[in-house]
Amino acid sequence: MNKYQVKLMAKAARDLNDIYEYIVSEFKDMGTAEKLIDIQFY
> What is the mean pLDDT of the segment spanning 13-18?
91
- pLDDT of 38 reads 67
Residues spanned by the domain of 28 = 3-41
Angle between helices 33-41 and 3-27 (to 10 degrees): 140
Contact 24, 36 (CB under 8 A): yes
- pLDDT of 31 reads 63
Give the SS3 label for residue 6. helix
Report the domain count for the chain: 1
- pLDDT of 20 reads 87
Confidence band for 7, pLDDT divided at 50, 70 and 90: very high
CB contact burial 14-26 (16+ within 10 A = b; e otherwise): eeeeeeeeeeeee
> What is the mean pLDDT of the segment spanning 23-30?
74
Contact 35, 41 (CB under 8 A): no
Confidence band for 37, pLDDT divided at 50, 70 and 90: low
Average pLDDT score over the chain: 79
